[in-house]
């Protein structure tokens, strides 16, 4: 699921840049052909509107799974301010090794929650831009078509920022890479650790 998401994210971000370049929001900011998926706007749009199904369905399954199994509750909450400060301080001292991959630190929790919310926002603003008449209620919620467009752009900035930090940190803590590639950390059998903890 993570790797479907990674591929879909790349498709959505780079094809989105192709669509963006056709009518820029920030004067003078273009992404340029090298970074764009689709050699001109029509194909970027086709990529984007094809990718949206994979993004939407994969994301929906992830959300339902996370909520139904209690995974979100267990992994992402609670966030204690003290832990947050401590983790930031540790990170700045380059102490970023995860002792237990199954437990997220406070900064991870905050970042994951931000990126999940950004993805939900992208889906909703995306729907608003795609169908501003059929989903006119959503458009009103976001403060108009052009505002929804700007929020959609801002959501991209948040997600790209997350991806950069996420990839950098994963590279700096090598043992997380194997867990990500293989689908999760190896858990010790329950009898050895005394408690049954399944993710």
Partner 1 sequence: MKSLFRPDDAPDGSALDLHRPLIRSLERRGLLRGGITLGSLVMLTGCDVKRPEAVQQALLAISRLNDKVQALLFDPNKLAPTYPASMILRPPKFNAYYDVVDVKPVNGATWRLELSGLIQDKRPWTVEDLQGLPQSSMVIKHICVEGWSYIGGWTGVTLRTFLERVGADLKAPYVAFNTADNYPSSIDMATALHPQTMLALQYGGQTLADPFGFPLRLRTATKLGYKNPKWLTSIEVTNTYPGGFWEKKGFPWFAGI
Nearer to partner 1, 3 or 65 (CB): 3
Q: How far is the CB of 134 from partner 1 (least distance, A)?
A: 5
Nearer to partner 1, 4 or 76 (CB): 4
Short-list 76, 133, 129, 126, CA closest to 105: 76
Nearer to partner 1, 49 or 193 (CB): 49
Q: How far is the CB of 171 from partner 1 (least distance, A)?
A: 4
Nearer to partner 1, 14 or 122 (CB): 14
Q: How far is the CB of 7 from partner 1 (least distance, A)?
A: 5
CA triple 6-8-12, angle to 5 deg: 120
Nearer to partner 1, 25 or 117 (CB): 25
Nearer to partner 1, 92 or 195 (CB): 92
By the 10 Å C-beta count (0-12 exposed, 13-18 middle, 19+ buried), 28 is classed as exposed
Q: How far is the CB of 177 from partner 1 (least distance, A)?
A: 5
The CA distance from 77 to 113, in Å, is 9
CA triple 157-117-36, angle to 5 deg: 30
CB 145 within 8 A of CB 189: no
CB atoms under 10 Å from CB of 143, counted, come to 11
Q: Output the CA torsion 105→111→115→120 (10° steps).
A: 80
Q: How far is the CB of 103 from partner 1 (least distance, A)?
A: 20
Q: Which residues bind partner 1 (CB under 8 A)?
A: 6-7, 10-11, 14, 19-20, 22-23, 25, 37-39, 41-43, 45-47, 49-50, 53, 89, 92-93, 130-134, 136, 145-146, 149, 167, 170-174, 177-178, 181
Q: How far is the CB of 150 from partner 1 (least distance, A)?
A: 10
The CA distance from 160 to 37, in Å, is 15
Widest CA span in the chain: 62
């Amino acid at each position: 699921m993570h790797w479907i998401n990674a591929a879909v994210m790349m498709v959505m971000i780079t094809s989105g840049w192709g669509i963006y370049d056709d009518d820029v929001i920030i004067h003078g900011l273009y992404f340029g052909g090298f970074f764009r998926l689709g050699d001109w706007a029509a194909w970027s749009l086709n990529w984007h509107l094809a990718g949206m199904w994979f993004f939407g369905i994969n994301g929906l399954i992830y959300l339902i799974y996370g909520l139904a199994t209690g995974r979100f509750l267990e992994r992402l909450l609670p966030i204690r301010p003290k832990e947050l400060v401590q983790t930031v301080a540790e990170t700045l001292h380059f102490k970023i090794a995860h002792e237990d991959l199954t437990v997220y630190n406070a900064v991870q929790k905050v970042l994951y929650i931000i990126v999940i919310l950004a993805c939900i926002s992208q889906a909703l603003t995306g729907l608003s831009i795609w169908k501003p008449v059929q989903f006119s209620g959503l458009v009103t919620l976001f403060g108009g078509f052009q505002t929804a467009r700007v929020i959609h752009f801002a959501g991209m900035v948040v997600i790209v920022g997350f991806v950069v930090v996420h990839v950098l940190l994963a590279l700096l803590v090598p043992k997380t890479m194997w867990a990500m590639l293989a689908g999760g950390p190896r858990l010790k059998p329950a009898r050895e650790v005394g408690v049954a903890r399944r993710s």
